[in-house]
Amino acid sequence: MSVQSNSSHINRILITIAILITIACSGNEIQPPVIDQNQITQETSINESKLSQQNANGQNLFSLADLVEEVQLSVVSISVDIISRGRFFDFTDEGSGTGMIISNDGYIVTNYHVVQDASDIKVALSDGRNYSAEIVGLDVLTDLAVIKIKANDLSTIKFGQSNLLRPGDWVFTIGNALGLKGGPSVTFGIVSGVDRTVQTERGDLYDMIQTDAAINQGNSGGPLVNDKGEVIGINTAVYSGAQGIGFSVSSTVAQPVIDSLIEDGKVTRPLIGLRGMNATNTISNRYDLGVSEGIFVTHVSSNGPADKGNLKVGDVITAIDGLSTPTMSEFLPLLWSYDVGNTITVTYISDKSPFITEITLDERP
């Protein structure tokens, strides 16, 4: 019995050992991970390459700091004294704004409302120099003004083509926001919309660029700059009813106005005698216009050129002399390309029917 018991015990031990050996040799064994050093090196190189490419792409897209340093050399701070007439004596108020140097001999563009009624204008350059400035010309219709200081060899801004802008393009502003000391303030954002019409107390502003880059008090007259360091707009208005909505006069509108102000001290434009807005699908559906592009007439001056040409509120102007006018950004430059006294042929839709009329242009006061 003792020999059989020991033999049985030995057999169990041998069976156990055999089982363990079988498991150890099995292909389902749990092995520690094997690290392939060559694979790690290769993957690391690929990831670093991708990261470098992303950084390069980002830098090419918008190198903000470098552009700011370059553009701000041509941005100036403007402070003004404004005389307010009282019943018994006058008051002097202070105001501030921003301007841009557009010629190396001292011409500066800013907003009309910045220097309007100013009795004294001071300009501070980015290098700390200060000058007195004189008004060269004013244009209330675009809220633009040109002033001049007696200086030479100045850094100047470069205008870009605002007509190439698309919603979503990166932009930044530089300005004397809130009149804070320590240099200009920089804000960054995108183009939120183009070809906007903005109503102000001085009248409607057309072909405006909408941006979410912050435009605060004191930024007026400063540049809206694209990713190439080119000025594509002049900051002019903030919509007080909402946050993140500011507007700039497009460079397409501003440049001929600036040239006229420097050359003649004013802008002479023909007058058609109406106000209007872009005819959109929403407006077309609301008023059952029968057309979704053109200039929707919202006001006609009594006894003015448009009134004499039988245009009325609710009509939609679609062309001048056969040239299409789908929006205000096409209509106004075309209209302003004519001289006072010219007669134009206007194609329009009235009560869903097409008409043609001739209008002789007056001079805008």
- In this predicted model, what pLDDT tens digit does every residue of 291-344 receive, in sequence order? 999 999 999 999 999 999 999 999 999 999 999 999 887 898 899 889 999 999
Residues 172 and 228 in one domain: yes
Domain boundary residue among 244, 264, 284? 264
Choosing from 148, 173, 198, the residue where a domain stops is 148
CB 78 within 8 A of CB 93: no
The predicted-structure confidence for 148-202, as pLDDT tens digits, reads as follows: 999 999 999 999 999 999 999 999 999 886 556 667 889 999 999 998 878 777 7
The residues of the chain scoring below 70 in pLDDT are: 1-63, 83-94, 177-182, 239-244
- Same domain (yes/no): 249, 339: no
Return the closest-CA partner of residue 276 out of 217, 212, 203: 203
Instruction: Look at residue 37 in the predicted model and tell me its pLDDT.
Output: 46
Residues 253, 216 share a domain? yes
Q: Report DSSP letters for 304-359, one per residue.
A: SHHHHTT--TT-EEEEETTEE--SHHHHHHHHHTSPTT-EEEEEEEETTEEEEEEE
| pLDDT value of residue 181 | 66
pLDDT at 52: 47
Q: Positive or negative, the Cα torsion across 307, 319, 288, 197?
A: negative
- Residue owning tokens 């000025």: 231
Instruction: For residue 88, tell me if it sits in a domain.
Output: yes
Whether 1 maps to a domain, the answer reads no
- Distance CA(342)–CA(344), nearest Å, equals 6
| 304 burial via Cβ count (<10 Å: 0-12, 13-18, 19+) | middle
Q: What is the dihedral of CA 218, 100, 113, 224, to 10 degrees?
A: -70
* 245 and 179 within one domain: yes
Same domain membership, residue 318 and residue 249: no
Domain assignment present for residue 172? The answer is: yes
Domain boundary pick from 233, 264, 295? 264
Active site residues: 113, 143, 220
As a whole number of Å, the CA-based R_g of the chain is: 34
Q: What is the pLDDT of residue 196?
A: 87
102 neighbors 157 (Cβ within 8 angstroms): yes
Q: Which domain holds residue 85?
A: 70-148
Residue at 229 is within a domain:
yes
> For residue 231, what are the β-bridge partners?
159, 225
242 and 314 housed in the same domain? no
Predicted confidence at residue 28, as pLDDT, reads 41
- Position 200 scores a pLDDT of 77
Residue 346 lies in a domain: yes
Task: Note whether residue 2 is domain-resident.
Answer: no
**Which CATH number belongs to the domain containing residue 311 in this structure?**
2.30.42.10
Joined tokens for residue 37: 């050093």
Between CA 245 and CA 138 the distance in angstroms is 26
Residue 236 sits in the same domain as residue 289: no
Query: Which two three-digit tokens encode residue 218?
Result: 């004191």
Residue with the two structure tokens 């202070």: 94
Examine residue 156 and state whether it is found in any structural domain, yes or no.
no
CATH number reported for the structural domain that contains residue 170 in this entry: 2.40.10.10
Does any domain span residue 27?
no
In total, how many domains does the chain have?
3
Q: What is the pLDDT, as a whole number, of residue 4? A: 47
